Amino acid sequence: MNNIKLSSISHTLITPLKQTNSVKDALNSMKENSISSVIIVDDADLPIGIFTERDAITIIANEQKNSLYLSDVMSKDVFYLKEDSYIHDAYTLMEQKGFRHIIVVDENNRYIGVVSEGDFLRHMGFEELPATKSIKDAMIDSILTINLNTSLTEVALRMSKKKCDYAIIVEHNQPIGVIGERDIAHCSIDGNLSLENAMSIMKHQTMCLVNIETSLQDVSQMMKEHGVHQLVVVNNTNALIGLITRHDILKTIHSSYFDYLLKTIESKSEKEQTLIKHKKELKKIANCDSLTNLPNRLFFKRELKKLVTQSIKNQQISAVLMLDLDRFKDINDSYGHSIGDEILSIISSRLVDIVKVDDLVARLGGDEFAIILEDVDSKDEIVKITNNILLAISKACKLSNGIDIHIASSIGIVLVPDDAKNVEEIFQYADSALYQAKSDGRGIYSFYTDEMTKKAMQKIAYESELRQAITNNELELYYQPQVYMKTGKIVSCEALLRWDNHKFGRVTPDIFIPIAEDTGLINSIGEWVINEACTQGKIWVDKGYHLTIAVNVSPNQVRYQNLPLVISEALKKSGYSASRLEVEITESSLMQREEEVVEMLHSLRAKGIRLAIDDFGTGYSSLSYLKRFPIDVLKIDKSFIDDIPYEKDDMAIVVAIIEMGKALGFEVLAEGTEHKEQLDFLEERGCNLYQGYIKSKPLPAKEFEKLLEEQNF
Ligand code: C2E
Ligand code: MG
Ligand code: MG
């Protein structure tokens, strides 16, 4: 049964109408063919509108004329599917979208026929259903009652206001008839809108009463026998309590339909192979969103359950991202559902492309998507992926009708198991994080916890301030002396960046340098640093202080900036000498794109520029690479100096670095020297230079100059 194609249940013999046909033409066609809608097509037979009994009721309620053109009153929001769609998929889609008719089209989207809700009812085979559901599960109790004095216009008005398909006519509190959209539509053809006329047309129809305790199975049987689409529901004393229609039955049954089919298939001892095939297909329908082919909410929930257990057991952190397209409803409203669907498909494939193969992307419904990032290393990784997602979504969607649409999204993030330890919590917290993101301006993400939200937001805030730092004159270089061990004299200094922001005050390099790195801002900032250091160096040379200035260069600059060019220009502009400039890079910079870095460093060396390896000992030091790079200074990382003279291992490492440096012909500098004991140890072991608070903290240029004056250069 689940293999039945849409084409086999559609009405194909009914001629569609054109925009220039009138409402009356539509009503006549509906009456002649006993159908509840007519389709309007263009000259190429492509469906462009639908006119239903419900639309007819609106026209009557508004007292509009039957001579109106269909183009003025039809609904342009048409829902069409290809003829080879399965009826179960088709029904599920129709129900999700709230339509009552499906236009069936061929592979070129040309009109073939139409399928209404009633057609599904006849073909979905629910007469086989167990008789467990009763009227109570399906019935509508908000019924519309009218009496014989009511005019049809009034009935139509009340029906369309209350969104009822039927009105029950009562006399002395007893139901005496049921009038439906179809009856009113038929009456309106010849313009006689009295209820009496309607009653006379309906004469042939019997009003059927049914007891509230009846099973749905019997209800559908009764409808079939009496040829009606609705039954009036009464209690044991025959008092009116409601109405049950085909639509209600269908809706109720459908939710249990997949369960039922699975059970039926299992119980039947059919051939093993077909059984498995059916099960798979059903499972797919039940777990898969038919528009995007992504897993649906049901499947996603099940995966979340597994995720929670697994994350707790393996002590790993995963992130659940809840994503919602901003103002998607507006797009749907202004461009129609088929454009909306096209956008959803584009977005879903972008999402799938961005995440890792093992990560799960699901469509929860409407414009809501969810993503599981399993076993993430850090918050930063999550932020990075999330930013990529926001960026990917914000790119223009090129639609088949030639329009470019821009859409943004908001994302709520929950960490499992840190924030949430069960499925309900995940949904709840992700929702509130999503809400936060939306209320913070849309197009952004928000972590669930306050603290995380704050930090992530702070990063964004820093970033936007950092973008202005140079133009706002907020950057300054401080200088920290580097002292030659043997003479105790300052021979060089390290330029260290300081940022005083008008909003945040002083922000330390540990915070803003990584942000500048992440965002690529480091390139312009780094260029500023090199220029500033050279300018200052020249000022000091002119005053007779011939010292070397070391500038820090970040991995990002090494990789993406033309450093030799930037430095040459800075030297040229300032008139500072290349041999007095030292570039500090970390081991990690050397490890990436090694060949290119070797070449670049040699070209710096060729200009006479010195090279220092910063934070030495914390990266992947290997003798072989030390030999390949034109290094002048090894700067032993502060962490090894800190515990001199107490930590034997650290002391052994320091000694080894000094020995190795000497053997390879490098100078060795000890970073972060604070105490006399450290200094004594370093001197004794033959370390050439030191830098640290024992001599001075980093100072603004003017104050640093005083140290130079005192030293009597
Ligand atoms: P770094 O290059 O290793 O710089 C040395 C850091 O150690 C500086 O921190 C300095 O103030 C600190 N320091 C020096 N002597 C002592 C001491 O005796 N005790 C203690 N406790 N600390 C000492 P700062 O200025 O906060 O800079 C931190 C890091 O930020 C630098 O580490 C460097 O990696 C980065 N940085 C600073 N300026 C720049 C820059 O212009 N460009 C780039 N790319 N990175 C920079
Ligand atoms: Mg440094
Ligand atoms: Mg360092």
Residue 519 confidence (pLDDT) = 83
Q: Which residues, including other chains, have CB under 8 Å from residue 255's CB and lie 6 or more apart? A: none
Q: Judge whether residue 44 has pLDDT over 80.
A: yes
- pLDDT for residue 685: 94
Using DSSP bridges, classify how beta strands 581-586 and 610-616 pair: parallel, antiparallel or unpaired. parallel
**In which residue are the tokens 């049809």 written?**
152
pTM for this structure? 0.48
Tell me the pLDDT band of 275, cut-offs 50, 70 and 90. low
Which band of pLDDT confidence, cut at 50, 70 and 90, is reported for residue 1? Answer: very low
Bridge partner list, 320: 372, 414
pLDDT band with cut points at 50, 70 and 90 for residue 269? very low
pLDDT for 621 equals 58
- Residue 375 Cβ contacting ligand 1 at under 6 Å: no
CA of 496 to the centre of ligand 1 (A): 6
User: What pLDDT digit, counting tens, does each position of 83-113 carry?
Assistant: 888 877 787 778 777 788 889 998 888 998 8
Specify which residues 145 forms β-bridges with.
Answer: 168
Average pLDDT for the chain: 86
More confident residue, 119 or 566: 566
* Least confident segment among 39-48, 178-187, 608-617: 178-187
Residue 268: pLDDT band (50, 70, 90) is very low
Residue 245 pLDDT greater than 70, yes or no: yes
Asked whether residue 124 carries a pLDDT value surpassing 70, the answer given is no
The residue ranking higher by pLDDT, 612 or 587, is 612
513 lines ligand 1 (CB under 6 A): yes
Which residue, 214, 157, 150, 147, is CA-closest to 181? 157
Percent of the chain with pLDDT over 70: 89
Neighbours of 244 (CB within 10 A): 26
Question: Longest Cα pair distance anywhere in the chain, in angstroms?
Answer: 119
Q: In the predicted model, is pLDDT for residue 534 greater than 70?
A: yes
Could you tell me where the beta strands, DSSP code E, fall in 4-55? Answer: 37-41, 47-52
Least confident of 11-15, 497-501, 524-528: 11-15
* Span 308-362, pLDDT tens digits: 999 988 889 999 999 999 878 778 877 888 889 999 999 999 999 998 888 899 9
> Per residue in 604-648, pLDDT tens?
999 999 999 999 887 655 666 777 889 999 999 999 999 998 888
- Pick from 552, 583, 636, 699 the residue to mutate for probing ligand 1's pocket: most ligand atoms within 8 Å of its CB: 552
Band (pLDDT 50/70/90 cuts) for residue 114 is confident
Using omega within 30 degrees of 0 as the cis cutoff, is the peptide bond preceding 417 cis?
A: yes
Task: Determine whether the shortest distance from the Cβ of 341 to ligand 1 is under 6 A.
Answer: no
Q: Is the CB of 500 under 6 A from ligand 1?
A: no
In this structure, the strands spanning 397-398 and 581-586 are unpaired
Write out pLDDT tens, residues 504-519: 999 999 999 988 987 8
Under the banding of pLDDT at 50, 70 and 90, the label for residue 267 is: low
Mutate to test the pocket of ligand 1, among 490, 493, 496, 524 (most ligand atoms within 8 A of CB): 496
Atom of ligand 1 nearest to the CA of 554: 44
The residue-averaged pLDDT of 415-419 equals 90
Comparing CA positions, the residue from 459, 460, 434, 466 lying closest to residue 447 is 434
Beta strands in 368-521 (DSSP E): 368-373, 397-398, 404-405, 409-416, 445-447, 475-484, 489-501, 505-507
